[in-house]
């Protein structure tokens, strides 16, 4: 009887544990299901499509690599892909280079009780939607826009500048502005974590302020810089709205190309192959940066 009671307790304990685990699964299950349905399933569909053959009005279920061959060898697709990479790299470089001084200023030269106010001010561009901000740049950079009418009013130029809108430059300017806060915050956090006595130590050991920055501040801020690079690079390479609105014909990027294949040309398999190719490239670039970050993170406190 006694051992039976113990066994009963045992199973009840086991059941309790199982039910707790079940609760955990239940809690994870809902978002997991959501993620699978809305992320995994479409992704799987696109990957599947990319290996199928395009018929005229339907998709023929023939397995093929032809779409990938087309995506990687066709001059047009390749040039758009390269341009996307180049634009994303340029946007990332411009954004991070401009974000670093801002983050540095807020971290090192703003009084501690004012820092949150400054960060709040930095988020002001987010108060309007992304689309409206892109349109605003159209107004600023346009033929009769703020820049041109301003410069003409001042008599600096005689006719409107045309190289500032509907091309790659406009895409870079607009995207760099849109992603600036995303780049500032990780760098700011990395700079905040730097023990200020390390900078004094750098100077104490004979280095000037500039050299201390190069040898101490910058290496210690690198995890933040790399996080910024990833945060800016990944979304900009696939950006659709900005090139569509301010890029003009020569500013088209890969997302516009995919849209073209899907909605205008109705070529799902080729569109999917381009999309998967773009994702692979982003994955490779991200992995390279993650590896770099691991190197810089080798000495966490």
Partner 1 sequence: MTVAAKPTMIEFRDVHKYYGDYHALRGITATIRAGEFFSLLGPSGCGKTTLLRTIAGFEEISSGAVMIDGRNMEGVPANKRPTNMVFQSYAIFPHLTVAENVGFGLRRARLPKEELTRRVGEALEMVGLRGLGARAAHALSGGQRQRVALARALILKPKVLLLDEPLSALDKKMREQMQVELIKLQRQVGITFILVTHDQEEALVMSDRIAVMFEGEIAQLADPETLYRRPTSRKVADFIGTMNFLSARILREDAQGIEVEAQGLGRMLLDASQAPGAASGTGTTAGFRPETATILFEGQKAEREAMGTIDEVVYFGDMTYYDVRLDGTEAPIRISMRNVFGRPVLDIGARARIAWSPGAVVLFR
* Contact set for partner 1, span 278-297 (CB under 8 A): 296
CB of 298 to partner 1, least distance (A): 7
Smallest distance, Å, CB 300 to partner 1?
6
Per-residue x/- mask for partner 1, residues 173 to 212, rule CB under 8 A? ----------------------x-xx-xxxxxxxxx----
224 lines the binding site for partner 1 (CB under 8 A)? no
User: Which sign, positive or negative, has the C-alpha torsion 117, 123, 124, 128?
Assistant: negative
Are the CB atoms for 248 and 18 separated by under 8 Å? no
State how far the Cα of 241 lies from the Cα of 175, in Å rounded to an integer.
Answer: 10
Q: In the complex with partner 1, which residue's Cβ is closer, 203 or 280?
A: 203
Beta strands in 33-118 (DSSP E): 53-54, 59-60
CA dihedral 152, 142, 175, 237 (to 10 degrees): -130
Supply the minimum distance, in Å, between the C-beta of residue 209 and partner 1.
8
Pairwise CA distance, residues 95 & 227, whole Å: 13
Which residue, 86 or 289, is less far from partner 1 as judged by CB? 289
Dihedral angle computed from the Cα positions of residues 45, 48, 52 and 55, in that order, rounded to the nearest 10 degrees: 0
With binding defined as CB under 8 A, does residue 108 bind partner 1?
A: no
Q: Quick check: 129 binds partner 1 (CB under 8 A)? A: no
Contacts (CB under 8 A) with partner 1, residues 37-56? none
Residue 214 sits in the site that holds partner 1 (CB under 8 A): no
Q: How far is the CB of 296 from partner 1 (least distance, A)?
A: 7
Tell me the C-alpha distance between 43 and 273, whole Å: 12
Site size toward partner 1 (CB under 8 A) is: 21
Q: How far apart are CA 185 and CA 60, in angstroms?
A: 48
Query: Binding to partner 1 by residue 262, rule CB under 8 A?
Result: no
Question: E strand or H helix at 108, and its extent?
Answer: helix 75-109
3-class state of residue 248 by DSSP: coil
Q: Is 216 in the site for partner 1 (CB under 8 A)?
A: yes
Query: C-beta of 198: minimal distance to partner 1 in Å?
Result: 5
- Backbone dihedral angles phi then psi of residue 218, each to the nearest 5 degrees: -65, -50
- Which CB atom, from 220 or from 227, has the smaller least distance to partner 1? 220
Does residue number 112 form part of the binding site for partner 1 (CB under 8 A)? Answer: no
Where do contacts with partner 1 occur on this chain (CB under 8 A)? 195, 197-198, 200-208, 215-216, 219-220, 296, 298-301
């Amino acid at each position: 009887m006694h051992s039976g009671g113990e066994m009963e307790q045992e199973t009840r304990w086991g059941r309790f544990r199982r039910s707790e685990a079940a609760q955990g699964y239940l809690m994870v299950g809902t978002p997991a299901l959501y993620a699978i349905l809305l992320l995994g399933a479409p992704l799987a569909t696109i990957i599947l499509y990319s290996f199928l053959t395009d018929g005229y009005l339907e998709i023929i279920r023939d397995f093929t690599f032809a779409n990938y061959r087309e995506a990687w060898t066709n001059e047009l697709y390749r040039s758009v892909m390269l341009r996307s990479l180049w634009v994303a790299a340029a946007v990332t470089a411009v954004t991070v280079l401009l974000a670093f001084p801002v983050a540095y200023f807020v971290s090192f030269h703003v009084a501690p009780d004012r820092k949150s106010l400054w960060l709040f001010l930095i988020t002001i561009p987010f108060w309007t939607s992304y689309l409206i901000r892109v349109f605003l740049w159209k107004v600023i950079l346009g033929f009769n826009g703020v820049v041109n009418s301003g410069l003409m009013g001042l008599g600096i130029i005689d006719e409107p500048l045309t190289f500032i809108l509907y091309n790659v430059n406009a895409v870079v300017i607009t995207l760099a502005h849109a992603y600036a806060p995303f780049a500032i915050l990780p760098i700011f956090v990395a700079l905040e974590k730097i023990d200020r006595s390390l900078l004094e130590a750098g100077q104490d050991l004979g280095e000037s302020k500039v050299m201390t920055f190069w040898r101490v501040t910058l290496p210690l801020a690198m995890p933040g810089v790399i996080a910024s690079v990833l945060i800016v690079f990944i979304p900009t390479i696939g950006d659709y709205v900005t090139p569509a609105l301010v890029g003009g014909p020569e500013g088209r990027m890969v997302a516009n190309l995919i849209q073209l294949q899907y909605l205008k040309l109705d070529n799902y398999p080729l569109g999917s192959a381009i999309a998967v190719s773009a994702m692979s490239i982003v994955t490779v670039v991200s992995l390279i940066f993650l590896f770099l970050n691991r190197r810089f993170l080798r000495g966490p406190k």
